[in-house]
Amino acid sequence: MPFMTIPEAAVLWHISAAELRQLCENHAILGAIRVHQRWFIPEDAACPSEILPVS
């Protein structure tokens, strides 16, 4: 399974890298793994806007 980094996913999903990092730390992105201090997100992971309810 190929992975993307936080900056790559942030551009793809049109959200800030900081917000995406927070989602990873809160385990909101299924399959995201942390290696040392970097997060790796599966390329087939659902976009956070599909996961989180719109307020």
Contact 39, 3 (CB under 8 A): no
Where are any strands of DSSP class E within 1-55?
3-5, 33-35, 38-42
pLDDT at 52: 54
DSSP state of 11: H
> The pTM is what?
0.81
SS3 label, residue 42? strand
Q: What integer pLDDT is reported at residue 50 of this predicted model?
A: 61
Q: Where are the domains of the chain?
A: 3-51
Q: How do residues 4-52 score in pLDDT, each as one tens digit?
A: 999 999 999 999 999 999 999 999 999 999 999 999 999 999 887 765 5
User: Tell me, what's the pLDDT at 47?
Assistant: 85
